Amino acid sequence: MTWAFSLPLEPRAKLTLLAIADHADDEGIAWPSRDRVAEKSSQSRATVIRKIKDLEELGLLALFQRFRKDGSQTTDEIRLDLTMTPEQVTRRTHGSQSSADIDDTDEGRGCQADTPPSQAATPGVAVVTSPNEPSKEPSQSPNPLPNGQGGVEPDPEHFQGFFESCLSWRTMSRAKALAAFRFLTPEEQKLSRAASPLHAEECIKAKRKSLDAHKLIAEQFWIKYPHARLPDAEREQQPQMRLMAGDELAGLRVAVRIAEQRELVVGGGIRSRKPEVQHDLAALARWADDSRREGWHVVEIRSSQFAAWRERLRFWCGGIEPKTERIWVEPYDPAIHDLPKLHPNFRLRKSTMGLRVPAPWPPRRDGSWSEQEGTA
């Protein structure tokens, strides 16, 4: 919220960003619906859609599509670039293609007027470009450093391999693809690099055109290729896997118990690709031997706490979707709940679908617990 307040944006764009930031976790990831953002910012849904598009073009956020198990689409995952500075926003606003529409009444800050974009919003990650857009050829697309003090920021490790593996990559916008790729976590960057050749092969066999690289990223296309692997030359450069032990392994047992409702079978040991101990996972170790799960917190489906726990559990458990369970929120009373349904005193026992977790919110990456969102 402090970051969002500091940015020089026109009022409606700032209201939209603040509403999103209020839903975000410590890493700047949020999942609010457009209607929820509109309600929270006291704006119309149409205005929110336009403002999200403006913020996306400024590079302040990126949208990633999400789908339910039945294939239906749910709310987008919104990732905020918390490294963006007010100076960068000012430069990008003044240098954008819509600079001709700058609202001069807004104290000369170069904020965009609240007018609909000339083109319909499309799903995916967009980045604003100057009128003299650089060539789409990889060798002619320098990336300025975030601080704007000259030099060229190196591309992420797996970007070039990912981009050139895309079908018809020579006709795609490298700048848009790179902007989208930077919003991915290191693990997602590896997955997209590994899945890109498989997607290209699939398009060739089906004789269909591939989406542009930045739209593939927005759809999180690598989820469709769970068995994709990095090429041998790149896999050899990956760090050695290590055995998990101590509090980290104990915390993983707790995470599996919550997400999959079973006990973790270690066997020959659990290996991790992470070079260092995951402190947030180790923070769960205090509940490793606690059999009193009935006293844990209950987070209901569609709550912000449930979304936070679900995403963290998926990360800990290798992408496995946590299993929800029916949790009784009313004590059992045979005098009421055991009566025939047609009896006038009969009452259904109240229950909810969700997860039983040790604390209202998951731990932060550093292993601490948020005092704002609830403590353990």
Which among 28, 3, 25, 23 has a CA at the least distance from the CA of 14? 3
Q: Which residue has the higher pLDDT, 35 or 373?
A: 35
Based on the domain organization, do 5 and 109 belong to the same domain?
yes
Query: How far, in Å, CA of 271 to CA of 343, rounded?
Result: 57
- Of 238, 263, 298, the residue at which a domain comes to its end is 238
Based on the domain organization, do 252 and 234 belong to the same domain?
no
Q: Which residue has the higher pLDDT, 194 or 72?
A: 194
The pLDDT assigned to 242 comes to 76
Query: How far, in Å, CA of 335 to CA of 3, rounded?
Result: 55
Based on the domain organization, do 14 and 104 belong to the same domain?
yes
Q: Is residue 374 part of a domain?
A: no
How many percent of the chain have pLDDT more than 90?
A: 21
Question: How many domains would you assign to the chain?
Answer: 3
Q: Is residue 368 part of a domain?
A: no
pTM tops 0.75, yes or no: no
Based on the domain organization, do 232 and 249 belong to the same domain?
no
Please give the average per-residue pLDDT across 229-247, as a whole number: 70
Based on the domain organization, do 191 and 312 belong to the same domain?
no
Based on the domain organization, do 233 and 247 belong to the same domain?
no
The answer to whether 161 and 193 have CB atoms below 8 angstroms apart is yes
How many percent of the chain have pLDDT more than 70?
A: 77
Query: How far, in Å, CA of 66 to CA of 88, rounded?
Result: 29
Q: Is residue 353 part of a domain?
A: yes
Q: Is residue 67 part of a domain?
A: yes
Query: How far, in Å, CA of 275 to CA of 178, rounded?
Result: 26
Query: How far, in Å, CA of 317 to CA of 153, rounded?
Result: 33
Q: Is residue 169 part of a domain?
A: yes
Based on the domain organization, do 1 and 122 belong to the same domain?
yes
Q: Which of 18-32, 187-201, 228-242, 308-322 has the lowest mean pLDDT?
A: 228-242
Q: Is residue 149 part of a domain?
A: no
Q: How confident is the model at residue 322 (pLDDT cuts 50, 70, 90)?
A: confident
Based on the domain organization, do 118 and 198 belong to the same domain?
no
- Of 205, 238, 271, the residue at which a domain comes to its end is 238
What range does the domain containing 162 cover?
Answer: 157-238
- CATH number reported for the structural domain that contains residue 111 in this entry: 1.10.10.10
Based on the domain organization, do 91 and 31 belong to the same domain?
yes
Which among 216, 119, 207, 219 has a CA at the least distance from the CA of 172? 216
Q: What is the tens place of the pLDDT at every residue in 16-50?
A: 999 999 999 888 889 899 999 999 999 999 999 99
Q: What is the tens place of the pLDDT at every residue in 131-174?
A: 344 433 433 334 444 444 444 568 888 999 999 999 888 778 88
Q: Is residue 367 part of a domain?
A: no
Based on the domain organization, do 194 and 124 belong to the same domain?
no
**Runs of H (alpha helix) within 130-260:** 159-165, 174-182, 186-206, 213-218, 232-235, 246-260
Query: How far, in Å, CA of 199 to CA of 222, rounded?
Result: 9
Distance from first CA to last CA of the chain, Å, rounded? 23
Q: In what order do the strands lie in the sheet with 297-300?
A: 297-300, 351-357, 325-328
Query: How far, in Å, CA of 203 to CA of 200, rounded?
Result: 5
Q: What is the tens place of the pLDDT at every residue in 241-289?
A: 678 888 888 888 888 888 888 888 776 667 776 778 888 888 888 887 7
Q: Is residue 376 part of a domain?
A: no
Based on the domain organization, do 224 and 253 belong to the same domain?
no
Based on the domain organization, do 189 and 272 belong to the same domain?
no
- Of 186, 217, 238, the residue at which a domain comes to its end is 238
